[in-house]
Structure 1
Amino acid sequence: MSNAPHFNIDVAAFWADPYPALAKMRAEAPIAFVPQLGSTVLTRRDDIFVTEKRIDVFSSHQPAGLMNKLMGHNMMRKDGDAHLAERTAMFPSVSPRTVKDVWRKQFQAHADRILDELAPQGSADLVKAFALPLSGECLKNVTGLTNITYHEMDAWSQAMIDGIANYTGDAAVEARCHAATAGIDAAIDDMIPVLRQHPDTSMLSVLLSAGMAMESIRANIKLAISGGQNEPRDAISGCVWALLTHPAEYAKVIAGQANWLDVFEEYARWIAPIGMSPRRVAQPFHYRGVDFEPEDRVFFMFGSANRDEACFADPDVFDVSRDHAKSIAFGAGPHYCAGAFASRAMVADVALPSLFARLGGLRLDPREPVRIGGWAFRGLLNLPVAWENAPPN
């Protein structure tokens, strides 16, 4: 175990709002062992930016980790050439060109259809009525699993997310994760003959064409679902909530002083949908007075890094005109999120402009409070809103 100073947290309070504890850690113990998480956590942006690139020390390869045991050995849990080979094989399905030429049009079609049904209603929980179905429908296309429903996509994603963050060993959480991965395997099996006969730019089709081993294909599709559903879902609803609760920031967008991508980048900094990335210490290492020992578990706290006072002025403030150059919401090293281009397109190019254009007078519904939670994965649990009915464009 590392000799990092110990820092105790209240797990329930940390789930409800991790930022006060993270700020205290940055100030008092920026590298600390948190007994309740069984891990040494790094909380300052520059420390994470430097150490995440040291894959010889802070390895993504975690044979005993929850992700490997529950989802299979995917590229996020590989380093060096093994990681690069699988990332390269997947790249044609999520490249900037593919996103622009293929996925953006499909994303827009899904958004338009969902909004056509939603607009006449006048009120809704936007998490369930828009963010969740849009993210799910888009991810069905990107992964190639068009044979499932968006409800299944979301439920399976959440079950895997809960499973890989199940550091307390809850047996029911693990069982739900196993059920989800079995469902994904069955959906993959159904789509393989279809995509072999009619190949496209989906992940499953591209990975099949690349000749990747089937166990790796399954693991990487599960990886894409685990992060590719919740991150844009939570970013869509979170951005809307942030703008509705910060009208001066929304006014900047309306006035052309900021754009929708600025909104997305600032929200991902302010409340990172993916707030943590785990690593395994591969060899003895000394850094900033802390000795790391082999097999220690380390958490890079992206959510903390993006509120580091040393890098961002007034970091707790949502400010769409902020410079985001130092944000590491998508990671900082070789494991930089492969789906970042698709996520930006879904949220900034499609979801936000379409939603605000169609739902005139969009506002929070005061009859129900907005709930938000999580620290490894953080997002809105609901978003009750109302608007003026608007005719289709």
Structure 2
Amino acid sequence: MSNAPRFDIDVPAFWADPYPDLARMRKEAPIAFVPQLGSTVFTRRDDIFTQEKRIDVFSSHQPAGLMNTLMGHNMMRKDGEAHMSERSAMFPAVSPRTVRDTWRRQFQAHADRILDELAPAGRADLCKAFALPLSAECLKDITGLTNMRFQDMDAWSQAMIDGIANYTGNKEIEARCHAATAGIDAAIDDMIPVVTKHPNTSILSVLLAAGMPIDSVRANIKLAISGGQNEPRDAIAGTIWALLTHPEQLAWVTGERAKWIDVFEEYARWIAPIGMSPRRVAKPWSYGGVDFEPEDRVFFMFGSANRDEACFSEPDRFDITRDTAKSIAFGAGPHYCAGAFASRAMVADVALPSIFARLKGLRLDQSAPVRIGGWAFRGLLNLPVLWDAI
């Protein structure tokens, strides 16, 4: 049992809004054992920034972890050379050059097509009508699974996310996750002969070309889907909402007095789509007055780190002029998000400028409230809007 100070939470309330509890922990117990999560959580930015890099202590290798058992052993759950070799094999598919030369053009084509279909309607839930299909269509290209429907990409991603965050052991959630991984395996099987005959820059193609064992190929594609769908989807919808609720900042960026990339980086700090990263304690360790024992579970709370008062002035405020250099929305150590370049391009270069240019008079639909949820993964659940249809 951890000797960290105990901090109890109400799980539904924490899911609805974790920030008040996280702020109390940062102030009163920055490293705390939360019995409802069965984990010791780190909440301060500098503690997370330094300790996430101690892979000899806080290991990503979690053989019995939910991600391994449900999705296969991917590079996120490996450390050292095992991690770096698989990361290097994937890099050609998500490198800055590939994003610039290949994916950005395809991202824009998807956005234009979706907005062409959407524009005459005059109203929509942009989570479902724009953020979801755009993220999914882009991810189909990146993974190489162009034989999937965008609806399946999103549903299967969500099922895996729910599965790997299923710390209460809900059997229905587990069953949905298994169904999703089976669907992805079938899609991979269908596309292997296609990309073998016609190689491209997709993750499936480059991993096969690198000679990666098929079980690792499957596991890493599932990893790309589990994070590569919800993160940009939630960032697209969330950033649109943030700008619509901060019209003066929207005017700055549409008037070219601020950059879209600054909007994206501030949103990812303010409401980090990935709010937590789990680790397994690999050896006895003491830090911050807390003793850690092998096999203890630790959560690095990125969503808390990015609202740390020691690093950000008025951290609960959305401010696109803020210096976000200390944000760790994409991680801090060797497991820094491999898809960060693609995510930035999808959101900042394509989605945001495209939607505000195309949907004139875009505004919130006040007849329905916007709902937000999650703590391990956090994002908008809906985004009802109106615009001036042409």
Which category of TM-score, normalised to the shorter sequence, fits these structures?
Answer: over 0.9
For 1:235, give the aligned amino acid.
A
Distance across 2 between alignment mates of 1:74 and 1:21:
32
Cα distance between partner residues in 1 of 2:195 and 2:94: 17
Bigger drift between 87-96 and 253-262 goes to 253-262
Equivalent residue runs for 1:41-190 within 5 Å: 41-190=41-190
Greater displacement, 145-154 / 247-256:
247-256
Residue 298 (structure 2) pairs with residue 298 (structure 1)? yes
Quote the residue 1:272 is aligned against.
272
The answer to whether the 8 Å contact 1:154/1:229 transfers is yes
Say which SS state the counterpart of residue 24 (structure 2) adopts.
helix
Q: Distance in 1 between matches of 2:180 and 2:239?
A: 28
Contact 1:282 1:294 in 2 (8 A): yes
Q: CA deviation at 1:255?
A: 3.0
SS at match of 1:361: coil
- Residues 229-268 of structure 1 correspond to what in structure 2 (within 5 A)? 229-268=229-268
Equivalent residue for 1:194?
A: 194
| Letter in structure 2 aligned against 1:146 | T
Provide the C-alpha distance between the structure 2 equivalents of 1:251 and 1:303, rounded to a whole number of angstroms: 27
Letter in 2 for 1:197: K
CA positional deviation for 1:256: 2.3
Matching of residues 209-220 of structure 1 within 5 Å = 209-220=209-220
The code of the aligned residue for 1:93 comes to A
Structure 2 SS opposite 1:338: coil
1:296, 1:255 → 2: CA distance? 51
Asked if residue 20 in structure 1 is aligned to residue 20 in structure 2, the reply is yes
Distance 1:5 1:336 in 2: 29
What is the CA distance between 1:251 and its match in structure 2? 1.8
Counterparts of 2:38 and 2:2 in 1: how far apart (Å)? 11
The Cα of 1:248 is off from its aligned counterpart by 1.5
Distance 2:253 2:45 in 1: 28
What SS is found at the alignment partner of 1:286? Answer: strand
Amino acid at match of 2:314: D
Match of 2:388 in 1: 388
Letter matched to residue 281 of structure 1: V
Counterpart residue number, 2:227: 227
**Counterpart residue number, 1:30:** 30
Q: What is the CA–CA distance in structure 1 between the aligned matches of 2:169 and 2:204, rounded to whole Å?
A: 31
Letter in 1 for 2:221: I
Q: Distance in 1 between matches of 2:247 and 2:43?
A: 30
Task: Give the letter for the 1:286 counterpart.
Answer: S
**Counterpart residue identity of residue 152, structure 2:** E
In 1, distance between residues paired with 2:325 and 2:289?
28
Using the TM superposition, give the Cα deviation of residue 249 of structure 1 relative to its aligned residue in structure 2, in angstroms: 1.3
8 A Cα contact 1:257 1:321, kept in partner: no
Ranges in structure 1 where 5+ consecutive residues have no aligned partner: none
SS in 2 for 1:279: strand
